[in-house]
Structure formats: C-alpha cells, structure tokens
C-alpha cells in the first residue's frame, strides 16, 4: 500500500502529515489528487508549494503493480 508524506513550506501554519490510506495519487492540471474507489478524497493545489514524497516500504518485485498504459 502506498504511503505519502506531505510537507508544506514554513510560514503557512499547516502541519505536515502522512497519508496511510489506500489512495492513488494523480495529477490533474495544477492539482495533486488522492482518490480511492469512491472518487477523490483529498486534493492539493500546486500553488501551496507542498512537497509530496512516497514513503512506503519497498515491495518485492513480484508484488509491485504492473505499469499502467497512458
């Protein structure tokens, strides 16, 4: 399951946090969007300057998801 650490630039008064839910990260225009089967769950605009880092444990090669076609 992917895990993401989201950090915000200092001075915004926002706490950094980690997403542990089974969400998919996509980029739509100027937005980073976290979604599940029910649809979008959380979105961050690019203008906020947030950094999104994937922090989950490495998976064995036979457990990695297949590459997606665009």
Tens place of pLDDT per residue across the chain (70 aa): 788 999 888 766 677 788 888 899 999 999 999 999 999 999 999 998 899 998 887 766 666 666 777 6
In a domain, 67, yes or no: no
Q: Is the dihedral of CA 42, 59, 70, 8 positive or negative?
A: positive
In a domain, 45, yes or no: yes
In a domain, 70, yes or no: no
In a domain, 68, yes or no: no
- DSSP, collapsed to helix, strand or coil, labels residue 63 as helix
In a domain, 65, yes or no: no
pTM above 0.95, yes or no: no
In a domain, 32, yes or no: yes
Q: How many domains does the chain fold into? A: 1
The separation between the first and the last C-alpha atoms of the chain, rounded to the nearest angstrom, is 22
C-alpha–C-alpha distance, residues 15 and 13, integer Å:
7
In a domain, 27, yes or no: yes
Give the domain range for residue 36.
Answer: 4-58
In a domain, 64, yes or no: no
């Amino acid at each position: 399951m992917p895990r993401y650490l989201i950090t915000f630039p200092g001075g915004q008064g926002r706490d950094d946090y980690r997403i542990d839910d089974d969400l998919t990260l996509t980029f739509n225009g100027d937005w980073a969007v976290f979604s599940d089967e029910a649809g979008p769950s959380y979105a961050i605009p690019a203008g906020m300057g947030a950094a999104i880092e994937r922090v989950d444990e490495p998976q064995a090669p036979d457990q990695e998801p297949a590459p997606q076609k665009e």
